[in-house]
């Protein structure tokens, strides 16, 4: 039939209007206005996006891309997403978070035009091995850049491990008091030094220029009472400073930071410097080319909002279709306009 898709229960115009509403309105507004179930909306979105994808070349002019994963459901359900750095568009998304899933992207890229994998010049990612291995094999000439936010996040995690260790040591030293019973077990709460360390997390995590007066006081207290924890804080800030330097100074600064971390005698940072050494080329490439996954994280934030709207869809295909219609640069048009 010329006015409806095969095996669909609605006309082209009806599907198009529902898809347009899905990019503009709330879930309740669509279901009440169009008098259909929300799962039916998901099926319509999947159909409309499938037709839209057939009529466009989503990979045209793709040169610099960012790859990341995002959780869309409990029990470790993830989407792998690819974003174009030059246009800011979401160009591809697929359920899964492994080498096989990413291979599907590069297969689709090559199928859209011979030699397109070789045309990719820059790839940003979070340092995950499953991304790096596939990119290295499919785009051997591409410059791989490690996302600065994730690299500094590794240092923050290492710092938090030192803080937790200091807190546990303070509790074992007797800085606790009984607080009654719960579920048949004695409960204790931190006091004194242990309590102060427990509430020092944000003073250690935040950038120095963003600290409140109270947090600055807390940091000064840590410098006087726990030199090991304060040294870990300085290591974290030292790595963050590397990303602020010009490219010609960053390499030497990073090598000096690695040497410092290697001899710091703090286990989490000794392990971190090994990871930094492994990704040294990608870190310096990110500084040299000024690339990060900031744009991809922005797209991920929007996908999280779309995920909340898409709650109740039968499969991730409808969620992916809604994300692509919203963020892929191909929003549906309102019929008759």
- Which conformational region is residue 265 in: left (phi greater than 0), alpha (psi within -120 to 50 degrees), or beta? left
Q: Answer yes or no: is pLDDT of 187 > 60.
A: no
Q: What per-residue confidence (pLDDT) applies to 333? A: 86
Q: Answer yes or no: is pLDDT of 278 > 90.
A: yes
Percentage of residues of the chain with pLDDT beyond 70: 94
Question: Which neighbouring-strand residues pair with 11?
Answer: 4
Indicate whether this model's pTM tops 0.75: yes
Q: How confident is the model at residue 70 (pLDDT cuts 50, 70, 90)?
A: very high
Closest to 204 in 3D by CA, of 241, 231, 174? 231
Helix (H, G, I), strand (E, B) or coil at 42: helix
Q: Answer yes or no: is pLDDT of 309 > 90.
A: no
HEC secondary structure over 300-328: HHHHHHHHHHCCCCCCHHHHHHHHHHHHC
Q: What per-residue confidence (pLDDT) applies to 219? A: 92
Q: What per-residue confidence (pLDDT) applies to 8? A: 75
Gyration radius (Cα) of the chain, Å: 25
What's the mean pLDDT in 161-173? 85
Characterize the bridge pairing of strands 90-95 and 77-84.
antiparallel
Closest to 333 in 3D by CA, of 14, 10, 17? 17
Q: Answer yes or no: is pLDDT of 179 > 70.
A: no
Q: Which of 14-23, 68-77, 229-238, 303-312 has the highest mean pLDDT?
A: 229-238
What's the mean pLDDT in 186-209? 76
Residue-wise pLDDT for 15-59, tens only, equals 999 999 999 988 889 999 999 998 899 889 999 999 999 888 989
Q: What per-residue confidence (pLDDT) applies to 9? A: 78
Contact 275, 233 (CB under 8 A): no
Q: Who has greater pLDDT, 104 or 27?
A: 104
Any idea what DSSP says for residue 59? T
Q: Answer yes or no: is pLDDT of 247 > 60.
A: yes
Closest to 84 in 3D by CA, of 56, 113, 51, 122? 122
Q: Answer yes or no: is pLDDT of 181 > 80.
A: no
Helix (H, G, I), strand (E, B) or coil at 192: helix
What's the rounded Cα separation, in Å, for the pair 310 and 314?
10
Q: What per-residue confidence (pLDDT) applies to 335? A: 82
Q: In angstroms, how far apart are the furthest CA atoms of the chain?
A: 79
Please list, in sequence order, all residues whose beta carbon lies within 8 angstroms of the beta carbon of residue 267, skipping any fewer than 6 positions away. none
Q: Who has greater pLDDT, 8 or 71?
A: 71
Q: What per-residue confidence (pLDDT) applies to 190? A: 59
- Which conformational region is residue 336 in: left (phi greater than 0), alpha (psi within -120 to 50 degrees), or beta? left
Q: How confident is the model at residue 170 (pLDDT cuts 50, 70, 90)?
A: confident
Angle between helices 99-111 and 129-138 (to 10 degrees): 30
Q: Answer yes or no: is pLDDT of 269 > 80.
A: yes
Q: How confident is the model at residue 133 (pLDDT cuts 50, 70, 90)?
A: very high
Q: How confident is the model at residue 60 (pLDDT cuts 50, 70, 90)?
A: very high
pLDDT averaged over the chain?
89
Map tokens 């306009």 to a residue.
Answer: 337
What's the mean pLDDT in 1-28? 83
Q: Who has greater pLDDT, 171 or 148?
A: 148
């Amino acid at each position: 039939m010329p006015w409806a898709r095969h095996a669909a229960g609605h006309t082209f115009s009806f599907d198009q209007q529902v898809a347009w509403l899905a990019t503009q309105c709330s879930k309740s507004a669509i279901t009440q206005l169009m008098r259909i179930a929300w799962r039916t909306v998901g099926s319509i979105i999947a159909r409309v996006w499938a037709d839209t994808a057939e009529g466009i070349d989503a990979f045209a002019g793709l040169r610099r891309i960012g790859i990341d994963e995002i959780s869309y459901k409990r029990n470790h359900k993830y989407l792998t997403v690819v974003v174009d750095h030059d246009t800011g568009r979401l160009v591809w998304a697929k359920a899964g978070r492994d080498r096989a899933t990413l291979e599907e992207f590069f297969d689709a890229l090559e199928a859209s035009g011979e030699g397109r994998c070789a045309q990719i010049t820059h790839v940003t990612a979070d340092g995950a091995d499953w991304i790096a291995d596939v990119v290295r094999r499919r785009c051997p000439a591409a410059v791989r850049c490690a996302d600065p936010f994730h690299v500094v996040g590794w240092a923050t995690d290492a710092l938090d491990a030192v803080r937790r260790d200091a807190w546990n040591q303070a509790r074992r030293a007797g800085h606790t008091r009984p607080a009654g019973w719960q579920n048949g077990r004695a409960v204790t709460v931190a006091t004194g030094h242990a309590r102060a360390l427990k509430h020092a997390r944000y003073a250690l995590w935040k950038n120095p220029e963003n600290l409140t007066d109270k947090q600055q006081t807390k940091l000064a207290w840590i410098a006087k009472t726990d030199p090991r924890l304060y040294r870990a804080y300085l290591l974290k800030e030292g790595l963050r400073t590397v990303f602020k330097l010009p490219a010609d100074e960053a390499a030497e600064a990073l090598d000096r930071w690695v040497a410092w971390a290697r001899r710091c005698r703090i286990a989490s940072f000794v392990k971190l410097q090994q990871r930094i050494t492994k990704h040294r080329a990608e870190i310096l490439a990110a500084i040299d080319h000024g690339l990060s996954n900031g744009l991809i994280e922005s797209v991920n934030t929007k996908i999280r909002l779309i995920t909340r709207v898409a709650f109740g869809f039968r499969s991730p295909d409808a969620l992916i279709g809604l994300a692509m219609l919203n963020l892929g640069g191909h929003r549906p048009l309102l019929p008759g306009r």
